[in-house]
């Protein structure tokens, strides 16, 4: 039998005179190169931090593949990342081992039918799988133990598959409770369904708009409070937008969207724009137009007007093949890998459906084709042609230009000890950065396409996966869009609890970013302290919801179950206990003179630049724009509590960090006040009666009733947009429903990190090379969130 790649590594350990010594040494010195591929990496960071301390086992995280001998594949491997994984694995010296952690790494997990994922076991030989979504740190440590045992020669922890015959009838009985999906055959898709709302300013605004845009628009409709849809023609799109920008003070794009309507042979292209003037802040104007669904649809780009639309347009070009004339990035692929299916978000690209009954000859899980490289058959070296497919785009023109200008180009990432999982092409002259070109999409898991194929309620877990370091806020946005569409009023107690959880989640995300930031500065103590505090937040999360990072606790109409008093007590205590540790953290890291000198006046974005790049959240506020969704368009109970939005005007890294620190302290305040308020309230009633309908008994605890209550949610026709202030900025969900199907027609998710990407690029221009990491980390960039 031919020796597999996996066996080779074990054989190396078992040959030669020094076998026992070899095995012993390798066992105690497994250095993982941190291949942080997606959200499971958050838990890996916890395993390395002081709570679990992976170093106890001699497992020292090492960023450099040549010196490591162990890969922990953290979750999803996308097609783009698959190449990187293979390359990194090849770079490592023998003997080497691979652990795959997370459900995604095995059969795709929650993304099993995505168009962009692969299975790590197709790419590299895997020694051990650790299940979970995400895995717990305990599980991760057990995985290390399992590999150690395997090295010793004991292989009793590997799962062996057993084949059983399941008779079809029995399968039918054991069927998971579900609701069949209803797809309307010829849905009526409209984004400007009028709605009667009590909104005086809106009526004035519409009048004003009609006067300004005379002759340019087809119709102007109020679709909801603070939402106005402006229909125009493709020819007039640029002119309309210019008018809006010049006369109304509309200065940024919140989202760009394309909707494919094949049966009407058209694409709808919409821009959601707004302005940072006091009146316009909460308002979102949707400018949309329709273009024919030809072979090469075209529309003029608005990038020249609003730079913040740039990356979103490029992304949509990948998704739909719609060409935005005037945007320079329309040549190649941006987010997707070369071998991802073309234009995957068009309706005629169908995803696999799940099967609940077992049928003869139909496999339970679909086959996913790995990228087309051929692993070396018998010889350990590649031929040139085999290598060709492993290569990543090399940006030939950039290289040429750089050579002409006497610049140095470095390709950083996607596997780099300080890059996160995306690639940067950095052009530098001496120690000064000329330009950084981003190459994102290494964690693009096709969230939007999958969401189109699942019931509304099934999308709740999905929407928190982009950012499991801030899950509640991600959920909240999606759920609020649904509640708004259905016109459901959430019970008071649930609102308070949601606020508490959202703020805890914000605190957690802050400490995540502020733990990664010290690492980029080479300051491991800051990382440890920060994660120690984050561990406290997660502890509260576990007690409230039962899950560390992915609770899926917030559902349309309320929360899944009530929170007990002792947990509330604990939360209250947390708000005072955190200060002591925070003080220590601040002393060692935030106020460290070296750090301050590194951050001060570095990566400055002025107010204008910040708005132009379209950055959001605390980073925008650090540049002096007083925009906080919680203040501008209050949701939950933020308007009933006493707190302040933090703004600064320096716009440098120091300002961004201090702003977030201040904001986090405000969050602790909010939690304290909200807990006090909840403790006064009677228990129970955390789900709205309106949504429960006949299932009143479920009101105390939704478990068991979930599918009965939520299986058949159908949203009214139209577009439902919600903006939420997540930890790193505004997250925008825009759900388009046709009013008939019980799955959304299209879901558009714009995450804060995606918007901030442009800011990072802009802020690092002209800085010194080492500053790039300061800037990058000061934005708290979290690639899975950006790539969605």
Partner 1 sequence: MMEMIDTLMETVMSNQVSIPLIEPMLDVLPEIPMLQYMVAFMLWKPLFAILICPGLTVGGLTLLFFPWIERKLCGRAQWRVGPHEIVWWLGGVIQLLADTLRFLFQEVIVHKDAHRPYFLQFPFLSFTIFLLPLLFIPAGTIVAIQTPYAIQIILALVCLFPLFILGLGWASNSRFAYIGTVREAFMYFAYEIPFIIAAIAMIILYGTSDPLLMASRQSIPGIILNPVAALVFFIGAAMATGRMPFEIADSDQELCAGPHVEYSGIAFGLIYVLCYEKAYILSALMTILFLGGGSGPVIAGLGDLSGVLWFVVKTYLVLTTLFMLRAVYPRYRLDQGLKLGWSPMLCLALIGLAISLVVVAVRVI
Residues within the interface to partner 1 (CB under 8 A): 18, 21-22, 24-29, 49-50, 53, 55-58, 63-64, 66-67, 69, 91-95, 408, 410-411, 416-418, 431, 518-526, 528-529, 532, 588-589, 592, 594-595, 597-598, 768-773
Residues 703, 696: Cα–Cα separation, whole Å: 13
Residues 45, 72: Cα–Cα separation, whole Å: 12
Query: Looking at 134, 491, 614, 718, which residue binds ligand SF4 (CB under 6 A)?
Result: 134
Least distance (Å) from partner 1 to the CB of residue 62?
9
- Smaller CB separation from partner 1, 42 or 299: 42
Site string for ligand SF4, 56-85 (x = CB under 6 A): -------------------xx---------
Handedness of CA 491, 497, 503, 509 (dihedral sign): negative
Selection from partner 1, ligand SF4, none that 557 binds (CB < 5 to 8 A by kind) is: none
DSSP single-letter state for residue 56: G
Which one, of 668, 488, 702, 455, lies nearest residue 581 by Cα? 668
Selection from ligand SF4, partner 1, none that 382 binds (CB < 5 to 8 A by kind) is: none
Selection from partner 1, ligand SF4, none that 39 binds (CB < 5 to 8 A by kind) is: ligand SF4
Cross-strand pairs, 410: 426
Span from 96-104, 270-278, 298-306, 308-316 in contact with ligand SF4 (CB under 6 A): 96-104
Least distance (Å) from ligand SF4 to the CB of residue 64?
23
For 530, phi then psi, to 5°, come to: -65, -45
Least distance (Å) from partner 1 to the CB of residue 787?
21
Least distance (Å) from ligand SF4 to the CB of residue 552?
12
Cis peptide upstream of residue 616 (ω within 30 degrees of 0):
no
Selection from partner 1, ligand SF4, none that 518 binds (CB < 5 to 8 A by kind) is: partner 1
C-alpha atoms less than 13 angstroms from C-alpha of 332 in its C-beta half-sphere? 14
Q: How far is CA 351 from CA 344, 446, 448, in A?
A: 9, 11, 12
- Smaller CB separation from partner 1, 510 or 527: 527
Span from 32-40, 564-572, 607-615, 687-695 in contact with ligand SF4 (CB under 6 A): 32-40
Least distance (Å) from partner 1 to the CB of residue 225?
46
Least distance (Å) from partner 1 to the CB of residue 387?
11
Residues 741, 187: Cα–Cα separation, whole Å: 8
Selection from partner 1, ligand SF4, none that 403 binds (CB < 5 to 8 A by kind) is: none
- Smaller CB separation from partner 1, 145 or 207: 145
Query: Looking at 30, 36, 40, 144, which residue binds ligand SF4 (CB under 6 A)?
Result: 40
Cross-strand pairs, 411: 425
By CB under 6 A, how many residues form the interface with ligand SF4? 14
Least distance (Å) from partner 1 to the CB of residue 380?
11
Three-state secondary structure readout of 352-406:
CCCCCCCCCCCCCCCCCCCCCCCCCCCCCCCCHHHHHCCCCCCCHHHHHHHHHCC
Residues 703, 91: Cα–Cα separation, whole Å: 48
- Smaller CB separation from partner 1, 25 or 197: 25
Select the residue whose beta carbon is closest to ligand SF4 and give its number: 75
By CB under 6 A, tell whether 39 contacts ligand SF4.
Answer: yes
By CB under 6 A, tell whether 133 contacts ligand SF4.
Answer: yes
Helix and strand totals (H; E) in the chain: 29, 21
Q: According to CB under 6 A, which residues from 723 to 782 bind ligand SF4?
A: none
Selection from partner 1, ligand SF4, none that 532 binds (CB < 5 to 8 A by kind) is: partner 1
Q: Are 81 and 73 in contact (CB under 8 A)?
A: no
Residues 6 or more apart in contact with residue 405 via CB below 8 angstroms:
429, 434
Q: According to CB under 6 A, which residues from 452 to 511 bind ligand SF4?
A: 465, 468
Which one, of 119, 72, 125, lies nearest residue 371 by Cα? 119
Q: Are 434 and 409 in contact (CB under 8 A)?
A: no
- Smaller CB separation from partner 1, 347 or 416: 416
Q: What b/e readout covers 539-566, taking b as 16+ CB neighbours within 10 angstroms? A: ebbeebbebbbbbbbbbbbbbbbbbeee
Span from 103-111, 229-237, 289-297, 639-647 in contact with ligand SF4 (CB under 6 A): 103-111
Least distance (Å) from ligand SF4 to the CB of residue 742?
24
Helix (H, G, I), strand (E, B) or coil at 153: coil
The helix, strand and coil proportions of the chain, stated in percent and rounded to the nearest 5, come to 45, 15, 40
By CB under 6 A, tell whether 266 contacts ligand SF4.
Answer: no
Query: Looking at 30, 49, 68, 103, which residue binds ligand SF4 (CB under 6 A)?
Result: 103
Least distance (Å) from partner 1 to the CB of residue 49?
8
Least distance (Å) from ligand SF4 to the CB of residue 550?
6
E-assigned strand segments in 623-711: none
Residue in the structure block whose two tokens are 């995540």:
512
Read off the tokens for 42. 């958050």
By CB under 6 A, tell whether 102 contacts ligand SF4.
Answer: yes
Residues 650, 17: Cα–Cα separation, whole Å: 64
Strands 70-74 and 32-35: parallel
Site string for ligand SF4, 681-700 (x = CB under 6 A): --------------------
- Smaller CB separation from partner 1, 225 or 523: 523
Span from 35-43, 213-221, 230-238, 416-424 in contact with ligand SF4 (CB under 6 A): 35-43
Residues 435, 772: Cα–Cα separation, whole Å: 11
- Smaller CB separation from ligand SF4, 133 or 536: 133
Strands 128-130 and 97-101: parallel
Cβ count near 679 (within 10 Å):
13
Selection from ligand SF4, partner 1, none that 40 binds (CB < 5 to 8 A by kind) is: ligand SF4
Selection from ligand SF4, partner 1, none that 102 binds (CB < 5 to 8 A by kind) is: ligand SF4
Q: According to CB under 6 A, which residues from 199 to 238 bind ligand SF4?
A: none
Selection from ligand SF4, partner 1, none that 134 binds (CB < 5 to 8 A by kind) is: ligand SF4
Q: How far is CA 675 from CA 251, 637, 672, in A?
A: 38, 12, 5
* DSSP secondary structure letters along 562-614: ---HHHHHHHHHHHHHHHHHHHHHIIIIIT-HHHHHHHTT-S---HHHHHHHT
- Smaller CB separation from partner 1, 138 or 353: 138
Read off the tokens for 210. 């009609």
By CB under 6 A, tell whether 370 contacts ligand SF4.
Answer: no
E-assigned strand segments in 440-524: none
Selection from ligand SF4, partner 1, none that 45 binds (CB < 5 to 8 A by kind) is: none
C-alpha atoms less than 13 angstroms from C-alpha of 571 in its C-beta half-sphere? 33
- Smaller CB separation from ligand SF4, 133 or 686: 133
Residues 6 or more apart in contact with residue 566 via CB below 8 angstroms:
none
Span from 104-112, 122-130, 232-240, 624-632 in contact with ligand SF4 (CB under 6 A): 104-112
Residues 602, 117: Cα–Cα separation, whole Å: 37
By CB under 6 A, tell whether 143 contacts ligand SF4.
Answer: no
- Smaller CB separation from ligand SF4, 114 or 484: 114
Summarize as ranges the residues that interact with ligand SF4 (CB under 6 A): 38-40, 75-76, 102-104, 109-110, 133-134, 465, 468
């Amino acid at each position: 039998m031919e020796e597999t790649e996996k066996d080779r590594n074990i054989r190396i350990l078992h040959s030669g005179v020094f076998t026992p010594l070899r095995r012993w040494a390798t066992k105690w010195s497994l250095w993982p190169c941190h291949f942080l591929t997606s959200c499971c990496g958050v838990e890996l960071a916890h395993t390395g931090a002081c709570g679990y301390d992976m170093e106890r086992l001699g497992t020292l995280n090492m960023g450099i593949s040549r010196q490591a001998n162990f890969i922990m594949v953290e979750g999803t491997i996308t097609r783009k990342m698959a190449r990187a994984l293979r390359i990194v694995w090849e770079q490592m010296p023998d003997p080497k081992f691979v652990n795959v952690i997370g459900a995604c790494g095995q059969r795709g997990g929650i993304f099993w039918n995505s168009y962009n994922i692969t299975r790590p076991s197709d790419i590299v030989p895997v020694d051990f799988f650790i299940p979970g979504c995400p895995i717990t740190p305990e599980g991760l440590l057990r995985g290390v133990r399992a590999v150690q045992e395997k090295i010793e020669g004991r292989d009793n922890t590997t799962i062996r598959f057993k084949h059983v015959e399941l008779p079809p009838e029995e399968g039918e009985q054991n069927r998971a409770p579900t609701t069949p999906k209803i797809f309307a055959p010829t849905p009526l898709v409209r984004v400007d369904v009028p709605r009667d709302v009590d909104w005086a300013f809106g009526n004035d605004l519409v009048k004003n708009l009609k006067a300004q845009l005379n002759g340019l628009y087809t119709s102007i409709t109020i679709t909801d409070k603070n939402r106005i849809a402006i229909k125009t023609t493709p020819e007039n799109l640029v002119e309309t937008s210019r008018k809006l920008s010049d006369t109304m003070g509309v200065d940024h794009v919140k989202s760009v969207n394309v909707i494919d309507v094949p049966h009407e042979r058209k694409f709808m292209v919409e821009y959601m724009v707004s302005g940072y003037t006091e009146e316009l802040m909460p308002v979102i104007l949707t400018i949309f137009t329709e273009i024919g669904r030809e072979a090469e649809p075209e529309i003029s780009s608005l990038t020249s007007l609003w730079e913040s639309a740039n990356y979103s347009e490029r992304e949509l070009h990948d998704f739909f093949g719609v060409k935005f004339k005037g945007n320079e990035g329309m040549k190649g692929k941006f987010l997707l890998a070369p071998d991802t299916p073309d234009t995957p978000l068009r309706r005629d690209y169908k995803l696999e459906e799940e099967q609940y009954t077992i049928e003869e000859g139909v496999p339970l899980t679909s086959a996913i084709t790995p990228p087309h490289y051929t692993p070396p058959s018998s010889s350990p070296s590649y031929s040139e042609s085999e290598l060709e497919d492993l290569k990543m785009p090399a940006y030939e023109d950039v290289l040429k230009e750089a050579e002409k200008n006497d610049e140095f180009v470095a390709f950083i990432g996607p596997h780099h000890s300080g890059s996160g999982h995306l690639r940067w092409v950095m052009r530098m002259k001496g120690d000064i950065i000329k330009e950084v070109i981003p190459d994102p999409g290494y964690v693009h898991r096709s969230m939007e396409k999958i969401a189109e194929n699942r019931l509304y309620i099934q999308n709740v877990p999905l929407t928190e996966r982009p950012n499991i370091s801030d899950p509640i806020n991600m959920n909240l946005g999606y759920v609020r869009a649904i509640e708004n569409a259905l016109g459901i009023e959430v019970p008071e107690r649930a609102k308070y609890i949601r606020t508490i959880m959202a703020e805890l989640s914000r605190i957690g995300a802050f400490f995540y970013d502020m733990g990664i930031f010290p690492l980029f500065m080479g300051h491991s103590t800051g990382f440890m302290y920060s994660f120690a505090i984050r561990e406290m937040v997660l502890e509260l999360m576990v007690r409230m919801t039962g899950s560390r990072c992915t609770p899926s606790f917030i559902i349309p109409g309320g929360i899944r179950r009530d929170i007990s008093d002792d947990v509330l007590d604990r939360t209250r205590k947390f708000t005072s206990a955190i200060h002591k540790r925070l003080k220590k953290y601040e002393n060692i890291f935030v106020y460290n003179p070296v750090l301050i000198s590194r951050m001060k006046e570095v990566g400055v974005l002025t107010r204008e630049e910040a708005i132009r790049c379209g950055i959001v959240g605390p980073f925008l506020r650090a540049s002096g724009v007083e925009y906080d969704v919680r203040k501008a368009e209050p949701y939950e109970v933020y308007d009933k509590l006493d707190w302040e939005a933090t703004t600064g005007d320096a716009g440098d890294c120091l300002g961004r960090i201090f702003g977030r620190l201040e904001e986090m302290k405000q969050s602790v305040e909010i939690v304290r006040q909200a807990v006090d308020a909840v403790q006064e309230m009677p228990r129970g009633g955390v789900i709205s009666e309106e949504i429960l309908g006949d299932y009143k008994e479920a009101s105390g605890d939704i478990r068991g009733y979930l599918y009965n209550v939520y299986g058949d949610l159908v949203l009214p026709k139209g577009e439902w947009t919600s903006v939420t202030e997540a930890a790193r900025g505004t997250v925008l969900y825009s759900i388009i429903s046709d009013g008939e199907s019980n799955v959304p027609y299209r879901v558009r998710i714009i995450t804060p990190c995606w918007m901030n990407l442009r800011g990072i690029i802009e802020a690092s221009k002209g800085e010194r090379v080492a500053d790039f990491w300061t800037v990058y980390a000061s934005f708290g960039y979290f690639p899975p969130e950006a790539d969605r």
